[in-house]
Amino acid sequence: SPSFIVAIDGPAASGKGTLARRLAATLGFAHLDTGALYRAVGLSLLRAGHAPEDGAAAIAAARGLDAATVLPLMNDPALRQDVVAVAASKVSVVPEVRAALLDFQRDFANHPPGGAPGTVSRGAVLDGRDVGTVVCPQAPAKLFVTADVEVRARRRLSELRNTGAEAIYDAVLEDMKVRDARDSQRAVAPLKPAVDAFLLDTSMMDADQAFIAAMDFIRSRP
């Protein structure tokens, strides 16, 4: 039977990553954080000494990524740095970079790996910006997770402070607005809800409430 795909999109710090991991664990599905792919491209550019605006270098880096290089990188704390997030959002405007990452994402969604090598899962949860609109428009369950930008900035601020970093609310809020604008205004695959996405505004919800609402929606899908 075909893989059951759960597509979760939304802006930075909306809670979509936490939600996606918990849904995948509960459903026994594989999980792919698609933002990590763009971060991996950004990180490899920075490490090679290229500017994140260098489109040709970004395309070469994206074409050079495969499962063997990307999957071990996924949990690398270096991917989580803000400088890498900014580089990711810059490389993600290049159409050829997006095209180069498409097959990997679709293959993961349609043939989700299982927990043990050589096994498969019955489904996949992918989170990002364009999973429901571009990567897997046929997914039976699409969610668009949002929260007010001030709420997201406060969440990101406490995440940063929890890791011991110094952070200022106004600067975090400003960064969030710049990244939102770049993600929603780009020409190719901008951040927007699929027409049939379930809208989940987590501004007034904690992680448990968001999880329950998402599970109710997924259970209602064929």
17 is in an annotated binding site: yes
Stretch of 45-53, 66-74, 124-132, 158-166 lying at the interface with ligand C5P (CB under 6 A): 124-132
Sequence-separated contacts (24+) of 151-157 with Cβ below 8 Å? 151/202, 151/203, 152/11, 152/12, 152/13, 152/14, 152/176, 153/13, 155/13, 155/15, 156/12, 156/13
Stretch that binds ligand C5P, among 35-43, 65-73, 138-146, 159-167 (CB under 6 A): 35-43
Beta-bridged to residue 124, according to DSSP, are 5, 30
Pick 1 or 46: Cβ nearer ligand C5P = 46
- Give the range of 22-30, 84-92, 107-115, 139-147 binding ligand C5P by CB under 6 A: 84-92
Query: Least distance from C-beta 221 to ligand C5P, angstroms?
Result: 21
Give dist(CA 196, CA 140) in Å, integer.
Answer: 9
Residue 15 marked in a binding site:
yes
Residue 31 binds ligand C5P (CB under 6 A): no
Measured from the CB of residue 70, what is the shortest distance to ligand C5P in angstroms?
Answer: 13
Shortest Cβ 212–ligand C5P spacing (Å): 23
Helix (H, G, I), strand (E, B) or coil at 144: strand
Q: Which two tokens stand for residue 81?
A: 């740095």
Enter the DSSP assignment of 31. Answer: E
Q: Using the minimum distance from each CB to ligand C5P, give the nearer residue, 174 or 216.
A: 174
